[in-house]
Chain A
Amino acid sequence: MADTLPQTTAPTPVAVEQPSYAHPVAAFFLFFFKAAAVFIYIFCGWFGTDFVINFCTITFLLVCDFWTVKNVSGRLMVGLRWWNEVSEMGGSDWKFESLEEGQRAVNKKDSFVFWTLLYATPAVWCALGFIAILKLNIDYLLLVIIAVLLSGANLMGYLKCSKAAQNQIKGRFNSLFASGLRAYMFSGRS
């Protein structure tokens, strides 16, 4: 299954040094929605538009950002994915998906950009929230709460996902180690 986003730099094989981003388009969109939402939030007074329009626009951008990070950027840039399923009993199951060994290498720069933005977004919105509380701006506080919830959810999801992936790798390593040990003990001995 080839990914169909156009890439301006060709992805290089694993063994070679990867100096450039493997998914510049994904990185751009990752940054764009977040930055646009924050920018419009801070400067909406200058545009002179209606509060309702501001709210809907920013919410739309926040939702786009959430969806992009969850479904596109995470997949392409760090090979992780999380979602939720409801089981028979009505309990919710958090499912995680991560790259198999050797399926595709994760570009270091992509990973850095992704995780930095992921941590930075809730932090920025929390700061904006404090400012809104100080200014007693309840209407915009509502918006900030939505922003914090959405970006926080993505952060938590990916953190849990990467932990799950690491556990998976550890588990596989352990079983590989055990089978290697067994092979060593039972072979080459008469």
Chain B
Amino acid sequence: GGPQNTLDEPVWETAKRDLRRICKNLVMVVFPFKDRSQQSAALRNWDLWGPMIFTLGLATTLSLGAQTASKTFSLVFALVSMGAIVLTVNVVLLGGTIGFFQSLCLLGYCLFPMDVAAIVCVTVKIMLVRWIVVPVMIVWASWASIPFVGGAVPANRRALAVFPLVLLYTAVGWLALIT
């Protein structure tokens, strides 16, 4: 349930509570080493700070290495945000039981591996390293998000929901690769 009476709590309490929630969500989504079944319950405390930070980070990192910084930045940011929204609508249209903001939150947090990939690609010039890191990160991001998305839709439509997801991460990975 919600907080009892938070109207008069000190400002720091609110800030700490939100920060703690971001960390918890990140660990739940991206490093799920424990039991997966409680994850959908855990993501009930969705927040959009994580996705915002990761999307901004991704766009910034990718624009650092590009020629036209501002265009790349806008492109990546718009691509990722639109992609997340379209994917969410896709899940909802396929009869999924995931909430709109929950899904956005999830997809945003799963960008974390792509952030890592982007940082590696921008700092390391050796193509071989990039070709190893990017697919690994794509797999990690997909592995983190597929159970949520796949579990929310009926079994016969799972592929329809999962395919665009992998496509989005692959597109982002490609952008990172060619920087």
Contacts and interface: CB of A to CB of B under 8 A. Distances in A.
A2 B60 contact: no
Interface residues of B, number: 35
Interface residues of A, number: 35
Contact of B44 (A2, A5, A85): A85
A83 B60 contact: no
B69 interface: yes
A79 B46 contact: no
Given A90-B98, A91-B99, A92-B99, A51 B73 contact: yes
Contacts of A95: 2
Nearest to B14: A71
Contacts, number: 83
A4 B11 contact: yes
Contact of A97 (B6, B10, B52): B6
A3 B10 CA distance: 5
Interface of A is mostly: mixed
Contact of B5 (A50, A71, A83, A97): A97
B31 interface: no
Given A4-B10, A72-B14, A85-B44, A56 B60 contact: yes
B44 to A, nearest CB: 4
A81 interface: yes
A95 B2 CA distance: 8
Contacts of A1: 5, 8-10
Majority SS at the chain B contact face: helix
B11 A86 contact: no
Given A52-B63, A55-B73, A56-B60, A86 B102 contact: yes
B97 interface: yes
Interface string A63-86: 100010001100100010101111
Nearest to B73: A52
A90 B102 contact: yes
A86 B9 CA distance: 23
Across the A-B interface, the 9 shortest Cβ-Cβ residue pairs: A51-B70, A4-B10, A86-B44, A1-B8, A90-B97, A71-B14, A139-B74, A52-B73, A90-B99
Interface of A: 1-5, 50-52, 55-56, 59, 63, 67, 71-72, 75, 79, 81, 83-86, 89-92, 95, 97-99, 103-104, 138-139, 142
Interface of B: 1-2, 5-12, 14-15, 18, 44, 46, 49, 52, 56, 59-60, 63, 69-71, 73-74, 77-78, 97-102, 152
22 contacts: A3-B9, A4-B10, A4-B11, A5-B11, A50-B70, A51-B70, A52-B59, A52-B63, A55-B73, A55-B77, A56-B60, A72-B14, A81-B7, A84-B46, A86-B46, A86-B101, A90-B102, A92-B99, A92-B101, A99-B7, A139-B71, A139-B73
